[in-house]
Amino acid sequence: MIVLVCPGQGSQTPGFLIPWLEDPANRTLVDQYSEAAGLDLVLHGTESDADTIRDTRVAQPLIVAAGLLTLRALARTGAIPADVGIAGHSVGEITAAAGAGVLDDLDAMRFVAARATEMAAAAAATPTGMSAVLGGDVDALLARLEELDLQPANFNGGGQIVVAGALDALADLSSAPLPGTRVIPLQVAGAFHTRYMEHAREALAPAAAALTPVDPARPLWTNADGSLVASGARFVDLLVGQVASPVRWDLTMESMQSAGVTGIIELAPAGALTGLARRGLKGTPAVAIKTPDDIQAAHDLLAA
């Protein structure tokens, strides 16, 4: 089984949409996505600087638009078999919902715009942040997080856990790291996927209620517990809950492995999830679609 994977916030870089927009069909799609999201995604994907596209309100719609653009370009140049699975990391789950047919593209863009707005507002309410912790003993780390009133936000697999909470507590963790660990502060605006996002979760519910999801047309995994989800309505409910709950990408990769994954194709802006797969799905062939030039390699993997 080949699995399409959709990256989350932090994977964007300045100007990454430039090669994509050379194709008029792609430019038309991004214009449509911009209108649905209420943002100039062409501007943000070509001219905006790193600080601008790091803003949650910009980053999340931009990342989902790029993933959808990649999906549609991939489908235009060759069939994507129905047994090809799909999964997204954090906001990439909205891309995956559209890729599985649970949502149409424009509803996905409207929903991600609402998500981004509410998460940015929640992040602004209390100064918080996130750090990646590499290596070490998981149980010891979780115990230390409890002492510091921090929370695990992303279990990324391969010995990487992203933790989140108050800035002073994160500083304490960094200044006295546990044996065998390395702590890397992340340039994000708040403690995503933790209790600090509870207001965003509540505020996002009406936007979710306005959607009309259908059941997925291809295998679709959730970050909630790594399981396959057969109900479109349930997947949307999980999208809302995930705002304030940890991302279990480790369990998602384990489920892919149990399903017999034979290859990974990461949608733009690609690189982060194929990197995690090198540690969590060792030996699994992977293609990162960063520009249109990478689409043929993706089709070669699909054909293989």
Catalytic (active site) residue 245? no
- pLDDT computed for residue 137 by the predictor: 93
Residue among 90, 131, 245, 255 flagged as catalytic: 90
3-class secondary-structure state, position 179 = coil
Which amino acid is residue 108, in one-letter code?
A: A
| Cβ neighbours of 272 (radius 10 Å) | 19
Radius of gyration of the chain (CA): 18
- pLDDT computed for residue 33 by the predictor: 98
CATH of domain 2-124+194-303: 3.40.366.10
Sign of CA dihedral 78, 82, 83, 89: positive
- pLDDT computed for residue 271 by the predictor: 94
Task: Tell me which DSSP letter residue 220 carries.
Answer: B
0.85 exceeded by pTM: yes
Domain(s) labelled CATH 3.40.366.10 in the chain stretch across 2-124+194-303
| Cβ neighbours of 3 (radius 10 Å) | 27
- Stretches in the chain below the pLDDT threshold 50: none
Q: Which CATH superfamily is domain 125-185 in?
A: Malonyl-CoA ACP transacylase, ACP-binding (3.30.70.250)
Domain(s) labelled CATH 3.30.70.250 in the chain stretch across 125-185
Strand partners, 6: 88
Catalytic (active site) residue 199? no
Tell me the C-alpha distance between 19 and 109, whole Å.
Answer: 21
| Cβ neighbours of 267 (radius 10 Å) | 31
